[in-house]
Amino acid sequence: MADLSTLARPYAKAAFDYACDHGVVNEWEDFLFIASTIVNDNAFSSWLDNPAVSAEHKSAALVDLYNSNVASGNDSALKQLLDATQSHKDSSATSYNQVSKALENFIQQLAENERLALLPEVYEHFRRHKASNLKQLDAYVTSAYPLTDAQREMFQSRLAASMNASVVIHEAVDPSLLAGATIKIGDKVIDDSVRGKLQQLKTQLMA
């Protein structure tokens, strides 16, 4: 049987092509992120597996959860999560649209084909299509201390120039690095941390 990633690919491609053609890429990405988060919840996942629940009910539940927790403007945990993971929306613009009829139909199709469990994979493929389309790369920067605004801007401008692409910085803090940072873009890792340099020196001394 094909793995989840392979099964999700055609759905993600169809979703992205439609969203791109109709100028709603960000709206679809918002929903797919929240839907994949919900589907990853163990209790909800078990509910999805219940054959007694109709496909229409399952898809409607996802849409209702998004509309009532995110698009309604309520300061819910799901909305806060989406606000915190935005890369395409201005920080001052925190309103979200209700789920469109086209997106409802897409989720309904997944439900009817018993493919709602694929939503996390669909979301990841959708993001890759978007990044490829916009020449956008995700850079995962792990630093010993939280980045300052100046450091963040420096990383972004230098990486954008070297990669010839728009770069989205994802930050994490790891005090064990001692100082400096590591940067991961795709399969490429740049280790400019003090811990990494000490390990290199140890390797050289033991050679």
pTM: 0.63
User: What confidence score (pLDDT) does residue 91 get?
Assistant: 43
- CA torsion 142-94-102-109 (nearest 10°) is 50
Q: What is the pLDDT of residues 111-125, one digit of tens each?
A: 999 999 999 999 999
Residue in the structure block whose two tokens are 């709602």:
116
Task: Give the bridge partners for 44, in sequence order.
Answer: none
Q: What is the pLDDT of residue 57?
A: 94
Question: What is the per-residue pLDDT for 150?
Answer: 87
- Residue 85 is predicted with a pLDDT of 74
What value does the mean pLDDT of the chain take?
84
**Domains defined for the chain, CATH in brackets:** 4-132 (1.10.520.20), 137-206 (no CATH)
CA distances from 196 to 13, 142, 147, 158, 171 (A): 39, 12, 18, 21, 18
Residues 1-11 have a mean pLDDT of 82
pLDDT (mean) for 152-177: 82
Predicted pLDDT at 181: 84
User: Between 85 and 98, where is the model more confident?
Assistant: 98
Output the pLDDT for position 202. 61
pLDDT digits (tens, 9 = 90+) for 36-82: 999 999 998 899 888 899 999 999 999 999 999 888 877 888 888 88
* pLDDT score, position 90: 43
Within the chain, where are the H helices?
Answer: 4-21, 25-39, 42-48, 55-66, 77-84, 101-112, 119-134, 149-163, 194-206
pLDDT at position 88 over 60:
no
How many Cα atoms sit within 13 Å of 183 on the Cβ side? 17
Give pLDDT tens digits for 25-38. 889 999 999 999 99
State phi, psi for 197 to the nearest 5 degrees. Answer: -70, -35
pLDDT surpassing 50 at residue 5: yes
Higher pLDDT, 205 or 187: 187
